[in-house]
Amino acid sequence: VPEDQADKLLLANWGLPKAVLEKYHSLGVVQMFQWQAECLMLGQVLEGRNLVYSAPTSAGKTLVAELLILKRVLETRRKALFILPFVSVAKEKKCYLQ
């Protein structure tokens, strides 16, 4: 992330609703890693363009997907499909996102 866009690391600067920010903050998620912000700022990803990214387990891939989905759903009022690899993860995310 360029120095003049370092504020993009903070979740609070992505236009998320207060309730969503409070939930992330209560879980200790206040800012992203640099690579996560870079993914979100690539091309027209936030306008619905495709993004393919790879990172090790527990690196933060899900946060990127969540933010993309949340922003698109809230801005377009359309539904999203979030595919997860395991039933246990799907149940966890269901409760988390509700």
Give the percent of the chain with pLDDT over 70: 96
Q: Which CATH architecture has domain 3-97?
A: 3-Layer(aba) Sandwich (3.40)
Token look-up 């891939």 returns: 61
pTM for this model (two decimals): 0.82
pLDDT of residue 6: 78
Per-domain residue ranges for the chain? Answer: 3-97
Would you place residue 21 in the very low, low, confident or very high pLDDT band (cuts 50, 70, 90)?
Answer: very high
Q: What are the tens digits of pLDDT across the range 26-71?
A: 989 999 999 999 999 998 898 888 999 999 988 999 899 999 998 8
Structure token pair of residue 47:
């306008």
In the predicted model, what is the mean pLDDT of the chain?
88
pLDDT of residue 82: 86
